[in-house]
Amino acid sequence: MKLVVGLGNPGGQYAETRHNIGWMVLDRIADRAGRAGRGRQRDASEVLELRWKGMDLVLAKPLTYMNDSGVAVRKLMARSHVPMADVLVVADDFALPFGKLRFREAGSHGGHNGLRSIIDELGSERFSRLRVGIGEPGRGAIDHVLSRFAPDERACLPILLDAAAEAVEAWAREGTSKAANRFNAFDLQCSPAGPDVAGGDRPSAPAPGEPGGPADGQGVRRTRTGWRKILPGADDEAGSGGRR
């Protein structure tokens, strides 16, 4: 059993804001699994238990508001008896450009209040997290994270959410290190003037191994100049700089 926690805030005023992209990723997984809207409330969270592609997952969206996310995570882990090694937290990060993905196996909260709460409640930084880039604020940090995505970002958001859902699947199946080798090099490729904006089919995500997509199962991604191996240690940065 794997526990995937998407961070966000409950309430219509926060729906589809940048700070709630963790919820959006979990919604995309539920949709891909044919289980959208099937969650139930327990342990201060909206919880969906599912078997997806041969894996048992618990998807949880804390309802405690961001600053008390750790209360829900502690309750979820206690009920399900999930060890720390089987927990993944999906959170927004404005220290990353919009569309970038970054796995880490441990680390500080980097100023993110949801991660801060989880670390305080669990008494440990040793849980995996998937940080999803929401772009650097051009104004105050709080206003930025609580704002909705710009039209050109919204046009590309389906591709990002699909990639993040695939990243969560890779984590559950292969572990954080291998998932990081594949997805930390993900480069969102999307033309905001494409068919999604015009009302047609949404743009499609590059396939694993293709330019702009994640690495394939062998850790290889094709570039415009040929093929290259995605090597371990692609994410050497010290941590997240988002503060909210």
What confidence tens digit (pLDDT) does each residue in 208-225 have? 776 666 667 666 656 543
β-bridge pairing 40-42 and 2-6: unpaired
pLDDT for res 14: 95
Number of neighbours of residue 194 by Cβ within 10 angstroms = 15
CATH architecture of 2-229: 3-Layer(aba) Sandwich (3.40)
Q: What is the DSSP string of 36-89?
A: TT--EEETTEEEEEEEETTEEEEEEEE-S-GGGHHHHHHHHHHHHT--GGGEEE
Amino acid found at 215? A
Active-site residue 19, yes or no?
A: yes
Q: Which of 221, 219, 190, 186 is nearest to 204 (CA)?
A: 190
Catalytic one among 19, 109, 112, 144? 19
Q: What is the DSSP string of 136-204?
A: --SS-HHHHHTSBPPHHHHHHHHHHHHHHHHHHHHHHHH-HHHHHHHHTT------TTSHHHHTSSPPP
Q: Which of 91, 80, 79 is nearest to 119 (CA)?
A: 91
Number of neighbours of residue 39 by Cβ within 10 angstroms = 19
Q: What is the pLDDT of residues 46-101, one digit of tens each?
A: 999 999 889 999 999 999 999 999 999 999 999 999 999 999 999 999 999 999 99
pLDDT for res 243: 38
The C-alpha atoms of residue 114 and residue 90 are separated, in whole angstroms, by 10
94 within 8 A of 136, measured Cβ to Cβ: yes
Residue 191: band (very low, low, confident or very high) from pLDDT cuts 50, 70, 90: confident
pLDDT for res 208: 72
The count of C-alpha atoms lying within 13 angstroms of the C-alpha of 188, restricted to the half-sphere facing its C-beta, is 28
The count of C-alpha atoms lying within 13 angstroms of the C-alpha of 76, restricted to the half-sphere facing its C-beta, is 35
Q: What is the pLDDT of residues 22-46, one digit of tens each?
A: 999 999 999 999 998 889 999 999 9
pLDDT for res 222: 60
152 within 8 A of 192, measured Cβ to Cβ: yes
Task: Give Cα 219 to chain centroid, integer Å.
Answer: 20
Q: Which of 8, 242, 15, 13 is nearest to 140 (CA)?
A: 242
- Lowest-confidence segment of 85-94, 156-165, 225-234 by average pLDDT: 225-234
96 within 8 A of 110, measured Cβ to Cβ: no
pLDDT for res 229: 54
The C-alpha atoms of residue 222 and residue 243 are separated, in whole angstroms, by 35
For the entire predicted model, the pTM comes to 0.79
| Average pLDDT over every residue of 165-188 | 96
Q: What is the mean pLDDT of the chain?
A: 85
The C-alpha atoms of residue 171 and residue 103 are separated, in whole angstroms, by 9
Beta bridge partners of 4: 59, 88
